[in-house]
Structure 1
Amino acid sequence: MLYEGDFSPPDGRFVLVAARFNGFIVDQLVAGATDAFRRHGVSDDRIDLVRVPGAYEIPLVAQRLGASGTFAAVVCLGCVIRGDTDHYDHVAGAATSGIAQAALASGVPVVFGVLTCDTLEQAIHRAGAKAGNKGFEAAVCAVEMVNLLKKLPG
């Protein structure tokens, strides 16, 4: 038997965990995610937004929200842009592994929508300019994963 998620309107509440750091980029990701949810039948009253200081802080909040039993999925949105030091590598790596751990620990889809870019220009393109909106894509992924998990045994 083949199991696949679909894009039908999902049940439940959804939460966006969005970093304030690089907010001019992250705000575009939030707008894209909200638009995607609306287009897939999720009304605004079923979408919550939680702001955290930066991408590094996303995993802890995502795990708490995922484990709360309140949300069908958690969408993590942030933007880390490479600088002249190793700080980028540490923050991007911690956010990536922490978000994955949050999903595994909570059993709820915790979707990675954190941009990890070499330049500000790349971030702008991925937040809606030329390369689509990765926040929109993350919300669509959440819809698909919620619908897939409902179909799986166990």
Structure 2
Amino acid sequence: MKTELSTKGDTTVSAEAGRIALLQSRWHADVVQECTKSFIATMVANGISQSRIDVVEVPGAFEMPLHAKLLSKTGHYSAIVAAALVIDGGIYRHEFVAQTVINALMLVQLETTIPIFSAVLTPHHFHEVDEHKAFFRAHLATKGEEVGKACIDTLKSVARITQ
């Protein structure tokens, strides 16, 4: 079965019907949910029904690669998006966690040929204060829009290649 994907100002491209999974970290969910909202709004504004998007909450970023692989193996998803905020908790270097997650997501993408997108952010400085939360909420909202556009563009280009 085929479905139509379109973006404003661009021609419509057919892609294999499928759902889109968005993995959302529960760590700092009050901040990360802005990415989810913005992603969904971008997809809907570009002709992708919200009913095709499954939001899957996971404990944190570290759990995302496994969930991405399991979701990709179901055959139900055309794309998977990961959204998280990995912060320096003072005990470990958060860059190692973020790098591990991104590398693992890339491996899943290459092994399964399901496009996987990252909105996993790793700020140098984040404190549980209103000013930082507001800044990163806005930043993640922007990232949600960007990852939505990247998802649409990639689904269209993959459809062109595989048709």
Same fold per superposition (TM over 0.5): yes
Write the distance in 1 (CA, Å) between the matches of 2:121 and 2:133.
7
Q: Which residue of 1 aligns with 2:61?
A: 55
Find the residue that maps to 1:117 and give its secondary structure. Answer: coil
Question: In the alignment, is residue 21 of structure 1 matched against residue 30 of structure 2?
Answer: no
Question: In the alignment, is residue 138 of structure 1 matched against residue 138 of structure 2?
Answer: no
Question: In the alignment, is residue 152 of structure 1 matched against residue 158 of structure 2?
Answer: no
8 A contact 1:81–1:123 mirrored in 2: no
Return the offset for 1:67.
2.4
Q: Which residue of 2 aligns with 1:68?
A: 74
- Cα 1:133–1:122 change in 2 (3 A) is farther
- Cα 1:99–1:80 change in 2 (3 A) is same
Find the residue that maps to 1:21 and give its secondary structure. Answer: coil
CA RMSD of aligned residues (A): 2.3
Return the offset for 1:18.
0.7
Kindly, what percent of the aligned residue pairs are identical? Answer: 25
Write the distance in 2 (CA, Å) between the matches of 1:148 and 1:79.
28
Return the offset for 1:141.
0.9
Return the offset for 1:132.
5.6
Write the distance in 2 (CA, Å) between the matches of 1:47 and 1:55.
19
Structure 1 unmatched runs, 5+: 1-5
Q: Report the TM-score, using the length of structure 1 for normalisation.
A: 0.85
- Cα 1:123–1:152 change in 2 (3 A) is farther
Write the distance in 2 (CA, Å) between the matches of 1:101 and 1:124.
33
Q: Which residue of 1 aligns with 2:41?
A: 35
Q: Any idea what the Cα deviations from partners look like across 1:114-138, whole Å, max 9, x if unmatched?
A: 1111123667435425x86112211
Write the distance in 2 (CA, Å) between the matches of 1:153 and 1:47.
22
Q: Report the TM-score, using the length of structure 2 for normalisation.
A: 0.80
Write the distance in 2 (CA, Å) between the matches of 1:73 and 1:146.
8
Write the distance in 2 (CA, Å) between the matches of 1:122 and 1:40.
31
Return the offset for 1:84.
2.3
Of the two, which has the highest radius of gyration?
2
